[in-house]
Structure 1
Amino acid sequence: MSVDTMKNNEPFLNTRIRTALYGLAVCDALGAPLEFQPRQHDRPKYVRDMLPNANFDLPAGHFTDDASMALCLAHSLVTSNGKHNAFDQAIRYVRWLDEGYMSSVADSAFDVGTQTRQALQYWRQSASAETLNFVGRKFDEDWRCGNGSLMRVLPCALVAKTEQEAVVLAKESSRVTHPHTRCVDACGLYTRLAWHALQGANKEQLIGEMQKHVESLEVELRKRLQQYDSIEAFDSKPRKQISSSGYVIDSLEAALWAFFATETFEAGAIEVVNLGDDADTVGAIYGGLAGAFYGKVECIPERWLRDMKSFELVVEAAQHLIDLHTRV
Structure 2
Amino acid sequence: MDEVTKIRACLFGGAMGDALGAEIEFWNLERIRMRFPGGLTDLPPHDGRAGRITDDTQMTLFTAEGLIRAVVRGQARGICAPEGVVHHALLRWYRTQGGVPKMELCDEGLVADARLRKRRAPGTTCLSALGEARRFGDLARNDSKGCGTIMRVAPCALIACDPAQAETLARDTSALTHGHVLGQEAAVAFARILFEVFHGATLERAVGSVSLSRPIMMALEAAMTARPDGAAETVERLGGGWVAEEALAIAVYAARVGRDVEHGLQIAVTHGGDSDSTGAVAGNLLGLLFPAETLAHPWRSKIECADVIDRIARDLAAAREPGNGFAEDFCDRYLGF
TM-score norm. by structure 2 comes to 0.81
Residues 122 and 240 (structure 1), Cα distance of their counterparts in 2 relative to 1, 3 Å cut: closer
Q: Give distance in 2, aligned partners of 1:234 and 1:164.
A: 32
Residues 226 and 274 (structure 1), Cα distance of their counterparts in 2 relative to 1, 3 Å cut: closer
For the pair 1:281 / 2:281, whether they are aligned, the reply is: no
- Which residue of 2 is the match for residue 26 of structure 1? 16
The amino acid that maps onto 1:50 is L
For the pair 1:199 / 2:199, whether they are aligned, the reply is: yes
Residues 182 and 60 (structure 1), Cα distance of their counterparts in 2 relative to 1, 3 Å cut: same
Q: Report sequence identity in percent.
A: 26
Q: Give distance in 1, aligned partners of 2:290 and 2:300.
A: 16
Structure 1 segment 63-82 matched on structure 2, within 5 A: 63-81=53-71
Instruction: Give the drift of 1:251.
Output: 1.2
Gaps of 5+ in 2: 75-79, 98-109, 324-337
Q: Give distance in 2, aligned partners of 1:263 and 1:205.
A: 19
Gaps of 5+ in 1: 1-10
CA contact (8 A) 1:19 1:291 kept: yes
Q: Give distance in 2, aligned partners of 1:278 and 1:58.
A: 20
Which moves more between the two structures, 76-85 or 312-321?
76-85
- Which residue of 1 is the match for residue 246 of structure 2? 250
CA contact (8 A) 1:234 1:261 kept: no
Q: Aligned match of 1:94 in 66, 91, 94?
A: 91
Q: Give distance in 1, aligned partners of 2:81 and 2:262.
A: 33
Q: Give distance in 1, aligned partners of 2:296 and 2:37.
A: 19
Q: Give distance in 2, aligned partners of 1:203 and 1:128.
A: 35
- Which residue of 2 is the match for residue 271 of structure 1? 267
Match of 1:178, SS state, is: coil
Q: What do the CA deviations read for 1:259-316 (whole angstroms, capped 9, x no partner)?
A: 11122111101111122421110001001111122232x3356321121122111011
Instruction: Give the drift of 1:72.
Output: 0.6
- Which residue of 2 is the match for residue 110 of structure 1? 120
Q: Give distance in 2, aligned partners of 1:277 and 1:34.
A: 9
CA contact (8 A) 2:145 2:184 kept: no
Instruction: Give the drift of 1:225.
Output: 2.9
- Which residue of 2 is the match for residue 325 of structure 1? 320
Q: Give distance in 2, aligned partners of 1:24 and 1:38.
A: 22
For the pair 1:127 / 2:135, whether they are aligned, the reply is: yes
Residues 226 and 50 (structure 1), Cα distance of their counterparts in 2 relative to 1, 3 Å cut: closer
CA contact (8 A) 1:244 1:277 kept: yes
Q: Give distance in 2, aligned partners of 1:108 and 1:227.
A: 36
For the pair 1:235 / 2:225, whether they are aligned, the reply is: no
Residues 99 and 241 (structure 1), Cα distance of their counterparts in 2 relative to 1, 3 Å cut: closer
CA contact (8 A) 1:266 1:300 kept: no
- Which residue of 1 is the match for residue 177 of structure 2? 177
Output the aligned Cα RMSD. 2.4
CA contact (8 A) 2:219 2:248 kept: no
Q: Give distance in 2, aligned partners of 1:127 and 1:249.
A: 29
Structure 1 segment 219-234 matched on structure 2, within 5 A: 219-227=214-222, 231=224, 233=226
Structure 1 segment 208-219 matched on structure 2, within 5 A: 208-210=208-210, 213=211, 216-217=212-213, 219=214
CA contact (8 A) 1:170 1:191 kept: yes
CA contact (8 A) 2:70 2:86 kept: no
